[in-house]
Amino acid sequence: MEGEEDESRFVDVVPAAGGAPRRIAFRRRSAQGAGALRPGVVFLGGFASDMCGSKASFLDEWAQREGRGLLRFDYSGHGESSGRFEDGTIGSWLEDSLAVFDAATVGPQILVGTSMGGWIALLLTQRLVASGRRPHALVLIAPAVDFTEELLWKSADAQARQAILERGVWPRPSRYAPEPTPITRALIEEGRAHLLMRGLIRTHAPVHILQGMQDEDVPYAHALRLVDRLSADPVTLSLIVDGDHRLSRPQDLDHLVATLEALG
């Protein structure tokens, strides 16, 4: 019997800093048959994307065929979850991730983080390890670790920085949507409390990075720097010479599945 997925369910997240609870939507596909003997998969999406995007949907179809457990969800201000996108920060989206992980997973899990989700996956791993747990493995797709500082703030011109500091938001043009993406002062400043690339990053688990060399959003040099920071744990870096940021072509998705199957 193929794995069955619930309709969207919700978990309420009470912010550590206070304020109204956030209602976070998730979908969980239960493991079946031989798939129940293998680790589950937790998908952590990218900045301004949701759990029905191309990679998440492809992994759900794969999990259904293979009887694998799969968890996917929307950060606050994304998709079916409550809240405004502009109010989100790395810290709040990390809280969302930990709450859903605790509410909807049992047993070993492979964390799959794409773009910003790669950063969240590493931060989530730190929280898990601190509580005596650890993921089975991590798969990071074009991981945008520290992107608020390294890939947004440092590359922003004077006009963009002025908008962020004085007006609190910069409408950044997007190559993926007709409307600009709001980059807030809170996102930049709160992100500095979660920077990882300035020291050793421990996962206590195998890490496999998939990185396109034609990526215009997260240059592959950024992935090379990340490998240096992960040097205390087993790390594999796969550079896709003609791959872009999304890595959503059929061959890219097949590579992702092959990587997951090799990890457990």
List active site positions.
115, 215, 245
Q: Which residues contact 185 (CB under 8 A, 6 or more apart)?
A: 164, 165, 168, 169
C-alpha distances (whole Å) from 114 to each of 12, 94, 248, 256 are: 24, 14, 11, 11
Neighbours of 164 (CB within 10 A): 22
- CA 197, CA 201: separation in Å to the nearest integer? 8
Residue 6 identity: D
Residue 165 identity: L
Give the residue from 155, 75, 77 showing the smallest Cα distance to 117.
Answer: 75
- The conformation of residue 149, written as its DSSP 8-state character, comes to I
Considering just the CA atoms, what is the radius of gyration of the chain in Å?
18
Q: How many residues does the chain have?
A: 264
CB 49 within 8 A of CB 80: no
Give the residue from 156, 203, 11, 164 showing the smallest Cα distance to 86.
Answer: 164
